[in-house]
Structure 1
Amino acid sequence: MGALTELTAEKYPGKAPALLFDDVPGYPGGFRTLYGHFTTLKRVALTLNIPLEEAENKVKLVKAYQDKWTNIKPIPYHFVADGPILENVLTGGDIDCFKFPVPRHHQRDKARFIGTAACVITKDPDRDWYNLGTYRSQVYDAATIGCQITEGKHGRIHRDKYFERGETMKVAIVVGQDPLLYLLSASQVPEGVSEYDYAGAILGEPYPVIKGVYTGFPVPANAEIVIEGDITPGDLLDEGPFGEWMGYYCSAPVKRPCVRVKSIMHRNQPILCCAPQHKPVDETVLLKAVAGSAAIWDALRLAGIPDIKGVWQHEGGMGVRFLVISIQQRYPGHARQVLHVASSCQAGAYNGKWVIVVDEDIDPSNMDQVMWALTTRFDPVDDIDIIKKAWSSGRDPLVQTGNFNNRILCDACIPYHRKLKGDFPVVVEVGAEETARLLEKWKGILF
């Protein structure tokens, strides 16, 4: 299943179908797996309740999402009495994570991973804040799974607080859910705000939840599968390796906290949602590119930086590591300001590598245009900055001890002083009026 998903993503980049597998050998019919939630821009737009015409252009879709983000008014989730997730409740000796067709996604994965397109629900011990984050979960046995959470992520901050007090942390892991929750779970929702509340804002109504039978946490009433359990300080098992989103197996098995499962809730004929990672372009790239670009654009807005014309995290950088921003330069240092804020804001800090700023005549999502700007407007001596010891992770094959990396900032704009003087060479191109005239004349023939 994972191999087929990888092959279709490679054959149809940006257009791959979602794959729903049924009749998995060894499992009853109706116990299904779903891959490829976000392999097209149109499915991203549908999930975000954005008109499909906005998905015809990458930057246009990012801007539409950023506008939603800017004007969002969170709507608190709403408890309901019942939901499909309560059709089956397993506790005690009935708990069995292998009841579901959990795949071994890649040939070199150590084990089967039930959590790849998951929403891990944790609660801050100091306040009434439930966070949803996407973290991988390996299956050890019928009642034990993993929950690998990177430093700095909200779920990890919650876990660290419990562990510092010597306390067990309860967790609910949703492994089949509304794509909107999955998208938000993998996005940069502000600290202290629940992804449920953003989901409600996007849908225009409170998100329906029920109380988890073990944790009491709000879990999606319409979910497919929810696993609840405990993570206890010192209860460690070897976790990984797993083929990760940078396209490598970057780590040997590491002892990490595990989840002792206390309950499983699932629908009749449940769908296990999966998102195996591999070298670009995998099925999660567009999710990360759209969500990350919108969050960075909004961070630049909040920093008061004017005239941002477009933002795109390129697919070849896994939607995280090759960021291009288009601006209309307004003052000396404008481009450098954008570079440093974009690379250091919370939305852009994690695992970044390249940040490039270009002028407004460059489409930041068009790699040919970006490379043209780099090769004609960028000087490798004067137009480059390096940030050392930035926030990285073990996913990075070049990660430094302590989970640091270095990153490059490139100013590929026309030098501001030359732009003011008007002495930079004129671009060879068809003018706007001539373009409009020719498009009209040859409409239906060439265009």
Structure 2
Amino acid sequence: MARDLRGFIKLLEEKGQLRRISTLVDPDLEIAEISNRMLQAGGPALLFENVKGASFPVAINLMGTVERICWAMNMQHPEELEALGKKLAMLQQPKPPKKLSQAVDFGKVLFDVLKAKPGKSFFPPCRQVIVEGDNLDLNKIPLIRPYPGDAGKIITLGLVITKDCETGTPNVGVYRLQLQSKTSMTVHWLSVRGGARHLRKAAQRGKKLEVAIALGVDPLIIMAAATPIPVDLSEWLFAGLYGGSGVQLAKCKTLDLEVPSNSEIVLEGTITPGEVLPDGPFGDHMGYYGGVEDSPLIRFHCMTHRKDPIYLTTFSGRPPKEEAMMAIALNRIYTPILRQQVSEITDFFLPMEALSYKAAIISIDKAYPGQAKRAALAFWSALPQFTYTKFVIVVDKDINIRDPRQVVWAISSKVDPSRDVFILPETPFDSLDFASQKIGLGGRMGIDATTKIPPETEHEWGAVLESDPDVAAMVDRRWAEYGLADLNLQQVDPNLFGYEMR
């Protein structure tokens, strides 16, 4: 498979996971409505070939299932994502190998890092067509408007690339951009993000910040850019580790920045520190419209693109959405890293219905009283992306955390709210969470749903009900004799938590 968007689209079509739509469609509301119905049903990716007011086709819902995300990352099964997480965990906190096998494993990881180094492309496809000056008009890109209350047209899956003016270190992030004029857009990023830090440094030096937007890139690179794991690796190297080979980069035409050479479209511009415009409101992942916020203004002066480019997009909202499916895949990658950070955690899960980060269920191998509370507190501080997790439910290791029936049973049978629920008030919080009494400041709740041991309880805990193993084995052997062999009785799929992972 070619390491670009077109190669992935071809793969999806070969696997029967792409539907081409030749009927005329409107990028204003209509494309999002069609795509949302596909997402709700776990349907195929869509390629709209006849978009009103545009000469470019629009691709959407390419990463609308975990299965397709695995394909984008050159994997076949979600279990392989954990193997990738183990590799990243080894790089994050390398330890001296104690056995020959450990030394061999670490050597393989280092070799993977060497293979993942980005390469250079001197005749990049993204520079096949160059548009500058008065010919530049961002309205020619089929930007979508997903919801009727949205302030305007947006870019959602563009790589926003900036560089630290002191160190030269690049940052690659995925931020929302709002169209403001034919040559300008506002960028919505949190103050802690890399692009925002680069803008502050540029302002201190009295310089403009160069910004490149790469549209229609290999979905694997989007996954790498969306992974906020604290490893001292560039996003380009991360993408190379994800894909098994280095990303090919090319210099921008007018900026001192590098972009993936196979990008479908590249926008080149600058931000003048202090120049802002109102951005929003837009529908967000919480399921509500966000607020209006003054955001940095990017003034573009150049656009390059491939011949007959394809515009890749998506949109936020209440799950299921593409971003939720990406979060499920990232959950698998985080697991080994989290185990390394918090040794007592055996597994963890972020349900999609809880927006893939607002509630976490973690299982522990409980050995001493108070351990569940310690694990919850350690979870909140283990990785930056868990800072905004509101609820942490801790269960015993024998509970299948992906089975809602088992989790609810553990909460119902093992929790005394007066003893097992604890709240941390007024902690730094997600500004998009309207449930908080003060925007940007909110509480967190931990729930200890583990079996209690002294001195957590003053009485003996009841024995868990279990079948007699000999009788259970006999019933297995005689199942056909009962005339029940034709019944397909199944337990809850461990990958289900109120949704199907297709």
Taking structure 2 as the reference length, what is the TM-score of the superposition? 0.79
- The alpha-carbon deviation at position 92 of structure 1 amounts to 1.6
Cα distance in 1 between the residues matched to 2:227 and 2:53: 35
Cα distance in 2 between the residues matched to 1:394 and 1:438: 55
- The alpha-carbon deviation at position 17 of structure 1 amounts to 2.1
The one-letter code of the counterpart of 1:255 is D
- Quick check: 2:229–2:383 contact (8 Å CA) kept in 1? no
Which residue of structure 1 lines up, in the alignment, with residue 389 of structure 2?
Answer: 352
- Matched ranges for 1:273-312 at <5 A: 273-292=312-331, 294-295=333-334, 297-303=336-342, 305-306=343-344, 308-312=345-349
Does 2:338 align with 1:338? no
Cα distance in 2 between the residues matched to 1:282 and 1:366: 21
- Matched ranges for 1:102-117 at <5 A: 102-113=143-154, 115-117=155-157
Which residue of structure 1 lines up, in the alignment, with residue 209 of structure 2?
Answer: 169
Cα distance in 1 between the residues matched to 2:386 and 2:346: 21
Name which of 123, 131, 138 aligns with 1:82: 123
Which residue of structure 2 lines up, in the alignment, with residue 96 of structure 1?
Answer: 137
Does 2:88 align with 1:69? yes
Structure 1 186/440 Cα, relative in aligned 2: closer, same or farther at 3 Å? farther
Which residue of structure 2 lines up, in the alignment, with residue 9 of structure 1?
Answer: 39
Structure 1 437/83 Cα, relative in aligned 2: closer, same or farther at 3 Å? farther
- Matched ranges for 1:138-177 at <5 A: 138-177=178-217
Structure 1 435/80 Cα, relative in aligned 2: closer, same or farther at 3 Å? farther
Cα distance in 2 between the residues matched to 1:89 and 1:432: 72
Q: Secondary structure at 2:419's aligned position in 1?
A: coil
- The alpha-carbon deviation at position 321 of structure 1 amounts to 0.6
- Quick check: 1:123–1:129 contact (8 Å CA) kept in 2? yes
Cα distance in 2 between the residues matched to 1:293 and 1:260: 38
Name which of 227, 239, 257 aligns with 2:279: 239
- Quick check: 2:38–2:44 contact (8 Å CA) kept in 1? yes
Structure 1 315/440 Cα, relative in aligned 2: closer, same or farther at 3 Å? farther
- The alpha-carbon deviation at position 47 of structure 1 amounts to 2.5
The one-letter code of the counterpart of 1:282 is K
Which residue of structure 1 lines up, in the alignment, with residue 158 of structure 2?
Answer: 118
Taking structure 1 as the reference length, what is the TM-score of the superposition? 0.89
- Quick check: 2:175–2:189 contact (8 Å CA) kept in 1? yes
Which residue of structure 2 lines up, in the alignment, with residue 412 of structure 1?
Answer: 449
Name which of 412, 420, 424 aligns with 1:383: 420
Residues 368-408 of structure 1 show CA distances to partners (whole Å, capped at 9, x for unaligned) of 22111111112211112222333323321134546222111
The one-letter code of the counterpart of 1:19 is L
Aligned CA RMSD, in angstroms, stands at 2.6
Cα distance in 2 between the residues matched to 1:39 and 1:432: 42
- Quick check: 1:116–1:135 contact (8 Å CA) kept in 2? yes
Cα distance in 2 between the residues matched to 1:332 and 1:143: 61
Which residue of structure 2 lines up, in the alignment, with residue 27 of structure 1?
Answer: 54
- Quick check: 1:117–1:274 contact (8 Å CA) kept in 2? yes
Gaps of 5+ in 2: 1-30, 92-108, 489-502
Which residue of structure 1 lines up, in the alignment, with residue 305 of structure 2?
Answer: 266
Larger gyration radius, structure 1 or structure 2: 2
Which residue of structure 2 lines up, in the alignment, with residue 40 of structure 1?
Answer: 65
Cα distance in 2 between the residues matched to 1:433 and 1:157: 64
The one-letter code of the counterpart of 1:264 is M
Cα distance in 1 between the residues matched to 2:198 and 2:473: 56
- Quick check: 2:341–2:382 contact (8 Å CA) kept in 1? no
The one-letter code of the counterpart of 1:279 is R
Structure 1 441/266 Cα, relative in aligned 2: closer, same or farther at 3 Å? farther
- Quick check: 1:231–1:257 contact (8 Å CA) kept in 2? yes
- Quick check: 1:230–1:260 contact (8 Å CA) kept in 2? yes
